[in-house]
Amino acid sequence: MQTRERRTDGRSDQRARRTAPRPDRALTFGIVGPADLVPRVAEVVEAAPALRALRLPYRQEQETARILREHADDVDAWLFTGVVPHAIAEAEGVVTLPARHVSYSGLTLLAALFRLGREGQDLTRISIDTLDPAEVSETLAEAGLAEDVARTMVYRREVRSRDVVAFHRQAREDEGATVAVTCLRSAYDVLRKEMLVVRLAPSPRDIRGAVDELALQTRNRHHSDAQVALGFVELERADPRLERDLGELGGAVVRIDAERYLLVTTRGPLERVTDDFRAAPFLERLAARHERVLVGLGIGRSAGEAAAHASRALARARAQGDVAAVLSAPHDADIVLTAVAAPEGSAPTDLGRLAQRLGMSRSTLLSLRQFLQSAQEGRVTATELAQAFSIQERSARRLLKRLERAGAAVPVGTLNEGQMGRPPVVYHVEL
């Protein structure tokens, strides 16, 4: 790699801003689903300010992956009319943009049950495919029905339309199911000839909820892509292969002196490559060639702010040992990035190591672990955390975000309490 003239006049910062998408521009959502549902969802999208809809209907669910590959450059995000095409796209590995699907488990299912009851249909035994059993149970309770009236079938990648049809037939034969509720048009077309069947179509309210969440997710990603990220890399000698090793970050690498390099990129690529600020996959590759590899990464709204955070992160990396990478961002404690992501099903969290990464005390994490033992399935909101530890709710939200970045917390949904404003986010935390 040729040595480049060092510049500190912010030109790399300007380059990063030019290539990042504008957070305030109109967004185009690709609407993917069966031909009769795509227009319904697209109308809600087009009614929202600064949103456009590209209608991408299919004839069969198996066309989903092809549609996404062909139109990935035409949209900012994907909105699926239901969980089935979304699951297919995820399984095929073609979802590279923000994506959401319209949920049928809430008002959509509730409205269908209400119509059936008003028509005098027998709702003592129901078979329901595709939807999450826990969400179905909540909706049944809202409808005044017992939880055990429904037999449910969770959608999986290997499930085909014939499997869904067989499930409803078996429910009728084994348990005397009187009504079949399906999310698949192909299954509906077969079942309607032999039993009472209802095909769910998304309600406007559920569509609006998905649209709002997707717009927020996409805007946040665009905002992240517009933020500047800088990194300082210290090695014991020059390395002509460094630019290639850091190439996945999508930025520029500038040599400062014999042992130091400057990385210029944006937050979006950095966040994705590091698995939401959990691991630094390039660290292991560098450590194979160098006994001393120190990386300090900083994020900011300007090159100056990012550089200040990167300097702080590098100082902490030096204190970690000979091979370390640390990330520093506004309003967050420094995060020590691991060389590789933790494998699924690994051993219980090492609280000492996690505390070190988050800049917290082990006793705080231990108290949190004890609190989670009384929480249902380890699920908690910022409000519950704030009440349990007598801290401000914004502090609790910040703590959960830090745990999420460290891989110890995952957002699993929202809590609908009928209150004004955005519903609280529910996190599943494992410590």
Domain with residue 125: its CATH number is: 3.40.50.2300
Q: Residue 223: is its pLDDT beyond 80?
A: no
Give every CB contact of residue 410 below 8 A, 6+ residues apart in sequence: 404, 427, 428
Q: Residue 346: is its pLDDT beyond 60?
A: no
Number of domains in the chain: 4
Choose the final residue of a domain: 169, 191, 222.
222
Residue 5 located in a structural domain: no
Which pLDDT band holds residue 417 (cuts at 50, 70, 90)?
low
**Do 98 and 195 belong to one domain?**
no
Give 423 or 279, the one with higher predicted confidence. 279
**Do 80 and 218 belong to one domain?**
yes
**Do 81 and 177 belong to one domain?**
no
**Do 31 and 85 belong to one domain?**
yes
Q: What is the CATH number of the domain that holds 391?
A: 1.10.10.10
Q: What is the CATH number of the domain that holds 35?
A: 3.40.50.1860
**Do 62 and 195 belong to one domain?**
no
Q: Tell how far CA 132 is from the center of its chain.
A: 18
Provide the pLDDT for residue 356. 62
- Rg of the chain over Cα atoms, rounded to whole angstroms, equals 25
Q: Across the chain, what does the average pLDDT equal? A: 82
List, for residues 259-286, the tens digit of each pLDDT value: 899 999 888 788 888 877 888 889 988 9
DSSP state, residue 370: H
Residue 373 located in a structural domain: yes
Q: Average pLDDT for residues 308-313, to the nearest whole number? A: 92
Which pLDDT band holds residue 145 (cuts at 50, 70, 90)?
confident
Q: Which H or E element spans position 11?
A: helix 11-19
Residue 10 located in a structural domain: no
**Do 243 and 318 belong to one domain?**
yes
What is the three-class DSSP state of 390? coil
Give every CB contact of residue 243 below 8 A, 6+ residues apart in sequence: 1, 253
Provide the pLDDT for residue 243. 86
Dihedral sign computed on CA atoms, order 112, 113, 115, 121: positive
Q: How far apart are the C-alpha atoms of 280 and 295, rounded to whole Å? A: 10
Q: How far apart are the C-alpha atoms of 315 and 294, rounded to whole Å? A: 9
DSSP state, residue 53: E
Q: Average pLDDT for residues 37-48, to the nearest whole number? A: 94
**Do 270 and 410 belong to one domain?**
no
Give 333 or 6, the one with higher predicted confidence. 333
Give 387 or 413, the one with higher predicted confidence. 387
**Do 233 and 323 belong to one domain?**
yes
Q: Average pLDDT for residues 339-368, to the nearest whole number? A: 64
Q: Average pLDDT for residues 233-249, to the nearest whole number? A: 88
Q: Which two tokens stand for residue 250?
A: 């999508």
Q: Residue 231: is its pLDDT beyond 70?
A: yes
Q: Tell me how far CA of residue 60 lies from CA of 53, 127, 186, 187, 329, in angstroms.
A: 21, 23, 8, 12, 45
Q: Tell how far CA 68 is from the center of its chain.
A: 18
- Burial bucket for residue 12 (CB in 10 Å: 0-12, 13-18, 19+): buried
Q: Tell how far CA 207 is from the center of its chain.
A: 18
Provide the pLDDT for residue 14. 38
Q: What percent of the chain has pLDDT above 90?
A: 31
Residue 150 located in a structural domain: yes
Provide the pLDDT for residue 169. 94
Residue 7 located in a structural domain: no
Number of DSSP helices (H) and strands (E) in the chain, helices first:
17, 17
Q: What is the CATH number of the domain that holds 303?
A: 3.30.70.1230
Which pLDDT band holds residue 9 (cuts at 50, 70, 90)?
very low
Choose the final residue of a domain: 337, 367, 392.
337
Q: How far apart are the C-alpha atoms of 217 and 220, rounded to whole Å? A: 5
Provide the pLDDT for residue 261. 94
Range of the domain at 129: 107-199
Q: Residue 25: is its pLDDT beyond 70?
A: no
Burial call 202-237: b when 16+ CB within 10 Å, e when fewer: bbeebbbbbbebbbeebbebbbbbbbbbbbbbbbee
Of the listed ranges 231-235, 282-286, 333-337, the least confidently predicted one is 333-337
Q: Which two tokens stand for residue 141?
A: 């309770």
Q: Residue 10: is its pLDDT beyond 70?
A: no
Asked if 242 and 1 touch (Cβ cutoff 8 Å), the reply is yes
**Do 254 and 329 belong to one domain?**
yes
List, for residues 84-119, the tens digit of each pLDDT value: 899 889 888 899 888 999 988 888 999 999 999 899
Residue 269 located in a structural domain: yes
What is the three-class DSSP state of 352? helix
**Do 236 and 319 belong to one domain?**
yes
Q: Average pLDDT for residues 202-224, to the nearest whole number? A: 82
What is the three-class DSSP state of 331? coil
Provide the pLDDT for residue 275. 79
Which pLDDT band holds residue 7 (cuts at 50, 70, 90)?
very low
Q: How far apart are the C-alpha atoms of 62 and 54, rounded to whole Å? A: 19
Choose the final residue of a domain: 283, 307, 337.
337
Q: Which two tokens stand for residue 328?
A: 């520093």
**Do 311 and 210 belong to one domain?**
no
Q: How far apart are the C-alpha atoms of 174 and 196, rounded to whole Å? A: 16
Q: Residue 13: is its pLDDT beyond 60?
A: no
List, for residues 368-393, the tens digit of each pLDDT value: 888 887 777 778 888 888 888 888 88
Q: Residue 40: is its pLDDT beyond 80?
A: yes
Residue 350 located in a structural domain: no
- The neighbouring-strand residues paired with 254 are 262
Residue 236 located in a structural domain: yes
Provide the pLDDT for residue 332. 62
Q: How far apart are the C-alpha atoms of 216 and 207, rounded to whole Å? A: 14
**Do 175 and 131 belong to one domain?**
yes
What is the three-class DSSP state of 411? strand
